[in-house]
Amino acid sequence: MTRTRLPRWLKLAYTAFMAVLVPVYWWHYGWANFLFLCDVALFVTLAGLWRESCLLLSMAAVGIALPQLLWCLDFAAGLAGAQVTGLTAYMFDEAKPLYLRGLSLFHLWMPWLLLFALSRLGYDRRGFWAWSLVSAMVCVLSYIFVDPPGPEVADIRTSRNVNFVYGLDPAEPQSLLPPPVYLVVWICALQLLFYLPSHALLKRMFRHPA
């Protein structure tokens, strides 16, 4: 029999968390919210934990390590009454239920969970290429199926500008480049600014899986 390298309680606890998060997010934010790359990483991690797949867990780690760090910095600044990027402004919106904002605290502990898993399983170098492909595909889907930023809509569950594929301004689309060109530039920027540095760091931190 193959010895499991990740504790069963961790897999069950994470599965229970996902069993709560998915219906709550679907109800409050709608289906398009699950196209956010951080949410895609949640599902990749779920599969990776149960399969004890270093490839899947490496993909998730490459995808969220630096973006989650940026989220954490912005959240810490918000707690101090400042603002860095505005990524976590919704966490301080009292119009949103406290339990809904509490679920978003997964951004704080997800990187640590993945680092723990990689310390047990090793870091698969293919994770960078696999996540780069997945993230590019998800950005294209977000561009095709999700509306650009604009005026508030009646249905609060209508997500807009998922993964910032129309620009970084939450109020209106960017106008410096033609939208398809911006999309390509943004996909490339994600690789260079977030995924490639994460890949380089994870290679140094963890052994290659046997």
Amino acid at 13: A
Evaluate if residue 2 carries a pLDDT over 70.
no
Residue 106: alpha-carbon gap to chain centroid = 10
Other C-beta atoms within 10 Å of 41: how many? Answer: 28
Cα–Cα dist 12/133, whole Å: 29
Kindly report the average pLDDT of the chain as a whole number: 92
Model-wide pTM > 0.85? yes
- pLDDT single digits (tens) 56-73: 999 999 999 999 999 999
Q: What residue spans of the chain are helical by DSSP H? A: 8-29, 37-51, 54-79, 98-103, 106-121, 126-145, 179-190, 196-205
Q: Which of 166, 163, 137 is nearest to 149 (CA)?
A: 166
Q: Tell me how far CA of residue 136 lies from CA of 59, 110, 165, 175, 188, in angstroms.
A: 13, 22, 11, 21, 9
Q: Identify the three-state secondary structure at position 147.
A: strand
HSE-up (13 A, CA, CB side) for residue 177: 12
Instruction: Please tell me the predicted confidence (pLDDT) of residue 1.
Output: 40
- pLDDT single digits (tens) 182-191: 999 999 999 9
Q: Which of 205, 190, 209 is nearest to 64 (CA)?
A: 190
- pLDDT single digits (tens) 127-178: 999 999 999 999 999 999 998 887 665 444 567 899 999 998 878 899 999 9
Residue 8 in tokens: 């069963």
Q: Which of 53, 61, 67, 71 is nearest to 205 (CA)?
A: 61
